[in-house]
Amino acid sequence: MFEIIENKVWNLFKKRKVSFAMIYDIDGNILWHKGRNIKGRTINDADGFSKTYIRNALVTGRIRKKGGFIISVNIDNTTNSINYLFLKSLLVNQINDDCFLYIDSKCADSFSPTDCEIFMVLGEILQDTLRQTRNKETDKDEIAGTSDAIKETRKLIASYAKSGEPLLITGETGTGKTYIAELIHLYSGKKGKFVAINTPGIPDSLFESELFGHKKGAFTNAAYDKKGLVEEAAGGTLLIDEITEVSVALQAKLLRFIETGKYTRLGESVEREIDTRIIAATNRDLPKAIEGNEFREDLYYRLNVFEIELPPLRVRKQDLEALVRQKIKYLNGKKIGDEFWQVIYNYEWPGNVRELISVLKRAGFLEKDMVTGKDIQGIINGSFRNRNNKTKTGTDENNQLWNDFKTGKNFWEVVKKPFLSRDLKRSEVKALIARGLVESGGRYKELLEVFNLKETDYHRFMRFLREQGLKPGKKYRDSVIL
């Protein structure tokens, strides 16, 4: 529904020679945009429009009120962004107390009063549609199933939702940890946002800034003040997914925030305080991670005030039919055919609910009116082959990196650069270092020679491992096969 309205509104914008349109809220979060590709989620993060005139429209005297909204027209001076984008006119409308509409044009010398009134109406339509869409998205499906494990999970969600204490959600990959965290936030009645941070997707060097924010000039490329995710989730809930991927050094700062609600932005000396509930999720065995010095024991006990352990799908197969019925939309109207349920029940579902949804989605794209057990089995077999190929590729990749060392390449070339560019996962680097430690007798100084580094690189090398959380624990060292 939103796509239909969006396209119609955008066509009306284009008829008025609009090149780019954007809706953002009073906190600078970009809610919608059309006309140009931009990167970033906030006014400060993104580019591709004139930030100067957005600020001027709110801060300086270059605005005037008219008919209950604020407009900025008739640009007298140009900025770098205006010149770079070849803009001829620009305006900012205040849609309501919380949201603004930004519009610019590369061909219209100015916008008329009639244009401004039309833009205002279109902006209100878009913002209202966005609000309704977000409200519908919060109407989460209930947890499907009648197994004892799911009944217990429902009870725990209802019991823990109203508490402000930290919560730990554990379970295998694909069991729905993020989904459960969203439900808990929804049932909590908190007025703030639900914000999730995907820890493995953020380099350690940027994690503190993402979590707590930074001050302009705090580090290279810190061109503006930025609030962190704890602040975005003020009065709400912050989910830290895959908590074990947070480095031990940063775990200490996270622990302090959980205990006191206080934090400091990077580059600031002012201590801030905020009320944000923390939910952590992991698919790993935290006691084993503690034994391997990969996770702080005190943080574990602080997070583990309440815990919900989500059961894998293979131990609650009686819930499979309810789950399929709940997600039946993914079959795109196709009927269920012969042996469909037999295949569904006989499979172990190692990827859990996420894999089940994926299989249903793929079945929904089959060019037939009925989905049979044979179809489902074929999709499962294809996924299984892909998993095996992916595992083999990962092993080959590790061997290739090892061979690079044998040809004389050093650690900075082979590991650091691809890791920082996210071409190598943290787990892959840990496995590689563990393999090197086996060859060096467990001594890091001897490891320098394995990785073709100089003795003078020792402190730099160790600092890099420590800051990025790359020192392998016992789990990695014990699993190495040369």
Exposed (0-12), middle (13-18) or buried (19+): which is 102, by Cβ within 10 Å? buried
- Taken as a whole, the chain contains a residue count of 482
Exposed (0-12), middle (13-18) or buried (19+): which is 135, by Cβ within 10 Å? exposed
Cα–Cα distances in angstroms (integers) from residue 367 to residues 152, 336, 386, in the given order: 40, 14, 22
Tokens, residue 25: 């809220």
Contacting residues for 34 by C-beta, under 8 A, at least 6 apart: 6, 10, 13, 20, 21, 22
Locate tokens 């979590």: which residue?
211
Cα–Cα distances in angstroms (integers) from residue 276 to residues 197, 225, 252, 269, 356, in the given order: 14, 20, 17, 21, 33
Tokens, residue 114: 């009639």
* Cβ burial 380-418 (10 Å sphere, 16+ → b, else e): beebeeeeeeeeeeeeeebeebbebbeeeebbeebbbee
Q: Which runs of E-coded beta strand occur in 35-178? A: 64-66, 69-71, 89-94, 99-105, 167-170
CATH for 2-137 is 3.30.450.40
pLDDT at position 398, please? 67
Contacting residues for 68 by C-beta, under 8 A, at least 6 apart: none
Rounded to whole angstroms, the Cα distance separating 414 from 162 reads: 49
pLDDT at position 351, please? 86
pLDDT at position 141, please? 59
All structural domains of the chain with their residue ranges? 2-137, 148-309, 313-387, 408-478
* Cβ burial 440-469 (10 Å sphere, 16+ → b, else e): beeeeeebbebbbbeeebeeebeebbeebb
Rounded to whole angstroms, the Cα distance separating 396 from 376 reads: 30
Closest CA to 199 of 245, 251, 250: 245
Contacting residues for 139 by C-beta, under 8 A, at least 6 apart: none
User: Is residue 374 within 8 Å of residue 418, measured between CB atoms?
Assistant: no
CATH for 313-387 is 1.10.8.60
Rounded to whole angstroms, the Cα distance separating 18 from 31 reads: 18
pLDDT at position 395, please? 54
CATH class for the region spanning 148-309: alpha beta
pLDDT in tens, the chain (482 residues): 456 677 788 889 999 899 999 988 877 778 888 888 776 667 877 778 877 767 765 554 333 333 333 444 444 555 666 667 777 788 888 887 778 888 888 888 778 888 888 888 888 888 877 766 555 444 455 688 889 999 888 888 888 887 888 999 999 888 999 999 999 998 887 888 899 887 766 766 678 888 888 888 777 777 778 888 999 999 999 999 888 888 888 899 999 999 999 988 888 888 899 999 999 999 888 898 898 888 999 999 999 888 999 999 999 999 999 999 989 999 998 999 999 999 999 999 988 998 999 899 989 988 889 999 999 999 888 754 444 444 444 455 567 788 888 788 888 888 887 777 666 777 788 888 888 888 888 888 889 988 998 888 888 888 888 877 788 765 544 544 44
Residue 25's DSSP bridge partners are: 99
Contacting residues for 223 by C-beta, under 8 A, at least 6 apart: 216
DSSP code per residue over 317-351: GGGHHHHHHHTGGGGTTPEE-TTHHHHHHHS--TT
Domain 2-137 and domain 313-387, same fold? Reply is no
Per 3-state DSSP, what percentage of the chain is helix, strand, and coil (rounded to 5)? 50, 15, 35
* Residue 11: other Cβ atoms inside 10 A: 9
> Which sign does the torsion angle of CA 60, 66, 72, 74 carry?
negative
Contacting residues for 295 by C-beta, under 8 A, at least 6 apart: 243, 244, 248, 251, 286, 289
Contacting residues for 329 by C-beta, under 8 A, at least 6 apart: none
